[in-house]
Amino acid sequence: MIGQTISHYKILEKLGEGGMGVVYKAHDTKLQREVALKFLPHYITSDSAEKERFYHEARAASALNHPNVTTIYDINEFENPATLDKQLYLAMEYVEGKTLKQLVEKEVLPIKKVLDIAIQICDGLAAAQEKGIVHRDIKSENIMLTPKGQVKIMDFGLAKVKGATKLTKEGSTLGTAAYMSPEQAQGEEVDHRSDIFSFGVVLYELLTSKPPFRGEHHAALMYSIINEEPPPIARFNEKVTPEIERIVSRALAKDKEDRYQHADDLLAEFRHERKKLDYVRTGYITQPPASPPVTPLKRNLIKMGVAALLVFVLVALAVIFNPFNFEIGPKKAVASKQKSIAVLPFTNLGGKEEDEIFCNGMTDDVLTQLCKIADLSVISRTSIMRYKGTTKNMREIGTELGVGTILEGSIRRVGSRVRIDTKLIDAETDRNIWAENYDREMVDIFDVQSDVAKKIALALQATLTATEKKNIDAKPTENLDAYSYCVKGREYYYRYTVNDLKTAAELFRKAIALDTNYAQAYAGLSDVYSTGTVNFLLWKESMDDSAIHTAQKGIQKDPTCAEAYKALGLAYELKGWYTKAVEATRKAVELNSNYGAAISNLGDELIGQGKIIEGMPWRFKATRLDPLMAWRYLANGIVYNLLCDDENADKELNRAIELQPDLMLTYWIMINGYMDRGVSSEAFNIAEKMFAVSKDTGQYYVRLSSIHLWFRNYGKALEYLRLYERFLPSNETARRGFNSTLGFLKIKMEKKLDGERPLIDAISFSMQKIEKGNQSADYHYAISSFNAILGRKKEALQWLKSALDKSRYSYRSAANDPSFDDMRNDPEFIRLLKEAKEKVDVLREQVRALKRE
């Protein structure tokens, strides 16, 4: 047809061809402009009803006048002289540029550019929605980007013709079907929310250069769209913020009721993200401190990771973290002691185990509601649970916890009714400040929890903002059975054993099955996945992604759920994605400023990035809010070891042992400290104390092997390592750690060739972790130490500098590490340690000053 003139359009060249026709570039001889002519399939013309329907749709679309939508100029038909068949065509605005499909095939676009594109697409979709127009075929091939950066959505008015929802079956490619919404894929009637889902697919492509749903054939693709969740965007693009992930995840919700209900809502979200990006870049604002919901397990995870690395590197020392960018620390507590409160475990008057779990759940939920009030200082769960069944008086408890008021209560359940008695007490005088009795149906339980929080705020004259009141009044679920499962899930989760975690996972899944919008249940399940995967190796490493996705699902269901943001931060942290972890956890802290576990996590994540000065105020605040939790002091002791502050390290670690004598990791961190100081006698003494009851364990032998290795007793180290082998877990990480340790010993004991291979393998493994976005300095240090053992000084120095720059490893550790024995006199090695010492000396004084404040 090139060269022909149709009406007053002279056809110049063919632009493309697809399931809905052929497109040519043409010259409008009347108005002297370039246009795009789209000739539609013959079956539309041959069916009078379909033809009339098309005219109706196209006329409606032609009224859509928006800068981000291609304009329809003309609708007509012509008679093909060769076949004498009539054929419909559209004359549309001609757009120069590239389709989004062409752009993403070349590269992953910068976040700023994606946001700019997304805002324009939303603008166009919102304009169409206002006029009641549904596109039905939004895809990256139907969206153009001009050289000046303007977005143009093409083909409005075409997708409702016959076969539009069945394009693949009519011979189109899988590409078009890949953008269908679940309801469209199932042949159901669609509305503007289907366009929002398809736009979500486009967004996912823009951020990852990959489709969210895949299938080798039509049926497989349809199944994926209807039943499967896409991989987390963070797996492919670590620069994407949790907020953007949440937005895309909500746009891709399977149930259209869970999606954004209007393109304007999406537009507002993206404009907010775009503005935030501009502010951060220009330095007008810094990220506000956030306090996400985190649990003690996370601490466990980090420590367990350290212990594994010690076996892995067998030379590694204490688990330390490091600062990152320009975060601001937690605000100073402005509340007086009278505005500080501890919620004692509610007393069960029913006697049944089921009632006991309900009491603990009620305690947790009242505590959570109070934590949402920023003007109060609220002691965390771990510390208050120590007082379950206590005989101590209020003054003793108040002194130990550092609070001015204490809430105590009792619960009795009879059938569907529950009686709750509460009493707020002045800890100093033992005087009642406020008391309330509730005799309600179980369906009113959330109202009781909210009422208690608001009346305590009133009694303590604490400021309660409108947002805080709204968050306190919001019900987490309307389904009491789902709530019961979630309460039980939390109870088992806090027990931290393999079997209990499995039970918790099942309970959270049951809660979600009963209420698919229950954000706290998703958060709980995400935490279980994270903890079980890292701490107990319950699931494969792929469950890291499940933890991320499940937390994102919770955020999608309820963007105000602090627990879900905390769970997401924890999942990111365990993959070593500290930047993302900090972003998610900050959001959690914004939503719940007293969430002790989240505050603690935020401190750890900042320190993990290398920002000790920004992270330690959060760690100090976490300790104040949870003064009887051993993990808080253990984490502080780790940082003091890093800073070579032996006095404070010993003080914090001894306090952790006092609070929890069976917390084995505390002893190991103390051993690390003495190893760094070069005091072998104390290191061995503590190891003996750790296993005073039973020494015939794998942990005992591997600890002694590591200590002997550190102090160059290689024969003994090998002896204990061989004893450890019969206890060696079957997982790959433990085996790799054993092999690399054995390789090191073989090299040191003059059997070089036998030892090189596992070290080379360990280097490759660490490199892969870094390439996948893991920001932990552990892998940098491991690569350095292994290269040093292999005699690769240049590589060893390069990676050692990287580890020390992250402030993850103390110069004193590197100075004593036997891995670097052959480099002791190297000028560059000496210089690196000297610079690291100077940095640590400054940091140590700064942290001491922070603690005094």
Under the banding of pLDDT at 50, 70 and 90, the label for residue 734 is confident
325 part of a folded domain: no
For residue range 755-799, list pLDDT tens digits in order.
899 999 999 999 999 998 999 898 999 999 999 999 999 999 999
Quote the Cα angle for 200-204-209, to 5°: 145
For residue range 401-435, list pLDDT tens digits in order.
999 999 999 999 888 899 999 999 999 888 989 99
CB 274 within 8 A of CB 215: no
What tokens does 753 get? Answer: 């060739």
Q: Is the pLDDT of residue 311 over 50?
A: no
Domain of 70: which CATH number?
3.30.200.20
How many CB atoms are closer than 10 A to CB 499? 11
For residue range 335-373, list pLDDT tens digits in order.
456 689 999 999 998 878 788 899 999 999 999 999 999
Q: What is the mean pLDDT of residues 454-469?
A: 91
Domain of 437: which CATH number?
3.40.50.10070
What tokens does 64 get? Answer: 């859509």
693 part of a folded domain: no
For residue range 202-238, list pLDDT tens digits in order.
999 999 999 999 887 777 888 889 988 898 898 888 8
Does one domain contain both 58 and 108? no
Concatenated DSSP letters of 145-191: E-TTS-EEE--TT-TTSTTGGGTTTTT--HHHHTT--HHHHTT----
Q: Is the pLDDT of residue 331 over 80?
A: no
733 vs 455, residue with greater confidence: 455
Does one domain contain both 744 and 847? yes
486 part of a folded domain: no
Question: What pLDDT was estimated at residue 282?
Answer: 41
393 vs 278, residue with greater confidence: 393
CB 156 within 8 A of CB 198: no
Tokens 């994102």, residue located: 552
Instruction: Decide which of 68, 93, 118 is a domain's last residue.
Output: 93
What tokens does 356 get? Answer: 């006991």
Does one domain contain both 125 and 234? yes
Closest C-alpha among 101, 83, 78, 85 to residue 11: 78
Q: What is the mean pLDDT of residues 287-313?
A: 38
Q: How far apart are CA 115 and CA 247, in angstroms?
A: 12
CB 616 within 8 A of CB 604: no
Determine which of 268-272, 313-317, 359-363 has the lowest per-residue pLDDT on average: 313-317
Does one domain contain both 187 and 272? yes
DSSP state of 69: B
Question: What pLDDT was estimated at residue 809?
Answer: 60
Instruction: Decide which of 474, 502, 522 is a domain's last residue.
Output: 474
Which of 113-122, 293-302, 307-316 has the highest average model confidence (pLDDT)? 113-122
The number of distinct structural domains making up the chain is 4
Q: How far apart are CA 717 and CA 572, in angstroms?
A: 35
Q: How far apart are the first and last CA of the chain?
A: 81
What tokens does 687 get? Answer: 């190891």
Q: How far apart are CA 788 and CA 817, in angstroms?
A: 11
Q: How far apart are CA 490 and CA 563, in angstroms?
A: 12
659 part of a folded domain: no
Q: How far apart are CA 228 and CA 841, in angstroms?
A: 52
Q: Reduced to 3 states, what is the DSSP secondary structure of residue 732?
A: helix
Quote the Cα angle for 703-707-710, to 5°: 140
Q: What is the mean pLDDT of residues 611-640?
A: 94
Does one domain contain both 54 and 31? yes
Question: What pLDDT was estimated at residue 278?
Answer: 60
CB 16 within 8 A of CB 98: no
Q: What percent of the chain has pLDDT over 90?
A: 52
Under the banding of pLDDT at 50, 70 and 90, the label for residue 614 is very high
Does one domain contain both 773 and 806? yes
DSSP state of 823: G
Mean predicted lDDT score pLDDT of the chain: 84
468 part of a folded domain: yes
Instruction: Decide which of 53, 73, 93 is a domain's last residue.
Output: 93
674 part of a folded domain: no
- Helices then strands (H, E): number in the chain? 36, 15
Q: What is the mean pLDDT of residues 235-254?
A: 88
Q: How far apart are CA 203 and CA 122, in angstroms?
A: 11
Supply the range of the domain harboring residue 841. Answer: 733-852
Question: What pLDDT was estimated at residue 637?
Answer: 96
Does one domain contain both 114 and 260? yes
Under the banding of pLDDT at 50, 70 and 90, the label for residue 163 is very low
380 part of a folded domain: yes
Q: Is the pLDDT of residue 132 over 50?
A: yes
The one catalytic residue in 123, 137, 558, 817 is 137
Q: How far apart are CA 515 and CA 390, in angstroms?
A: 37
121-138 burial, b at 16+ Cβ within 10 Å, e below that, comes to bbbbbbbbbeeebbbbbb
Question: What pLDDT was estimated at residue 76?
Answer: 85
Task: Tell how strand 377-378 and strand 347-348 pair up.
Answer: unpaired
For residue range 50-66, list pLDDT tens digits in order.
677 777 767 777 777 88
137 is catalytic: yes
Question: What pLDDT was estimated at residue 18?
Answer: 67
What pTM was computed for the model?
Answer: 0.66
Question: What pLDDT was estimated at residue 323?
Answer: 28
Does one domain contain both 276 and 391? no
Domain of 180: which CATH number?
1.10.510.10
For residue range 526-579, list pLDDT tens digits in order.
999 998 876 655 555 445 688 999 999 999 999 999 999 999 999 999 889 999
Does one domain contain both 104 and 216? yes
Q: What percent of the chain has pLDDT over 70?
A: 86
Does one domain contain both 116 and 89? no
Alpha-carbon Rg for the chain in angstroms? 31
Does one domain contain both 223 and 348? no
543 part of a folded domain: no
Question: What pLDDT was estimated at residue 808?
Answer: 59
Q: How far is CA 817 from CA 214, 231, 711, 778, 814, in A?
A: 49, 40, 9, 14, 5
Query: Which amino acid, 768?
Result: Q
Q: Is the pLDDT of residue 484 over 50?
A: yes
Does one domain contain both 123 and 269? yes
Q: How far apart are CA 162 and CA 459, in angstroms?
A: 67
Closest C-alpha among 790, 820, 818, 823 to residue 712: 818
